[in-house]
Structure 1
Amino acid sequence: MDDDELLDAARDALQEAYVPYSEYPVGAAIETADGEVYVGTNVENANFSNSLHAEEVAIGSAVRDGHREFAKVVVTSEARDAVTPCGMCRQTLAEFCDDDVPVLCDTGDGYKRYTIGELIPDTITPEMLGH
């Protein structure tokens, strides 16, 4: 899937955001290695620590369906402010994405392009845990 189609999927996901507290909708789309696309949006909870982030929802859905390899991630917000995945989401993405997997962050008229490795260098790996 090309970058613009993946961005459209992430932007469409924004419509389903549940953000009564922050009023900051985020959408994400992740493309699997075999070309399937999964989307996610943030789902807030009055106890913020129980809130779900868009990237986690997208990757969780893909993993639930058996996917373990990913080709590309797109993140957007209603503000089109090039929001990047938070640290927790970066670690989750790093669990399933190689360091060179692109992460495209929506600027409204293009993207800021990163790789997983740039966003979270020297991440915690299974090898560090003896696996």
Structure 2
Amino acid sequence: MTDNELVAKAKEALENSYSPYSHFAVGAALLSTDGQVFIGCNIENSSFGATNCAERTAIFKAVSEGVKDFKAIAIVCSGDQPAYPCGICRQVMSEFFNPDTRIIVEEGGGLKTYTMSEILPDSFSL
């Protein structure tokens, strides 16, 4: 699957966002090493601590189905800014992603790709 195809899947997920408080929709598409794609969107709650980000939704869906090896994740948002993962998502990603797993975001009208080790160097782990 190409990066553009993965981004298109993330945009499909964006349509399911439940974001009545921030009005900031986010979609993610996670590509496993065996070619499966798991999509996720952000799901807000009036108690913001109960909100779940798109990236974690996609990761948790995959892990709950027994998939734990990933090639890439694409993240898109409804705003003009790039959809960089938050700190909590980066920590969850570090649990399941290899240092070279690709993180793809839309930036400046194009795609920008980072590796896990670039977005969270020296991550916490046991």
Using the size of structure 1 for normalisation, the TM-score is 0.93
Match of 1:101 in 2: 101
Match of 2:48 in 1: 48
Distance apart, 1:109 and its partner CA: 2.6
Residues 18, 53 of structure 1: CA spacing in aligned structure 2 closer, same or farther, 3 A cutoff?
same
Q: Any conservation in 2 of the 1:40–1:57 contact (CA below 8 Å)?
A: yes
Aligned residue pair count: 126
User: Which amino acid is 2:27 matched to?
Assistant: G
Match of 1:129 in 2: none
Residues 11, 108 of structure 1: CA spacing in aligned structure 2 closer, same or farther, 3 A cutoff?
farther
User: Which amino acid is 2:110 matched to?
Assistant: G
Match of 1:81 in 2: 81
Cα distance in structure 2, aligned partners of 1:72 and 1:50: 26
Which residues of 2 match residues 1-131 of structure 1 at below 5 A?
1-107=1-107, 109-126=109-126
Partner SS for 2:15:
helix
Q: Give unmatched runs, 5+ long, in structure 2.
A: none
- Identity, % of aligned pairs? 38
Partner SS for 1:16:
coil
Q: Using the TM superposition, name which of 13-22 and 74-83 deviates more.
A: 74-83
User: After TM superposition, what 4+ stretches of structure 1 lie above 3 angstroms from structure 2?
Assistant: none
Using the size of structure 2 for normalisation, the TM-score is 0.96
Q: Any conservation in 2 of the 1:80–1:106 contact (CA below 8 Å)?
A: no
Cα deviation per residue 1:88-127 (whole Å; 9 max; x = unaligned)? 000101100011111011126311211111111110113x
Partner SS for 1:35:
coil
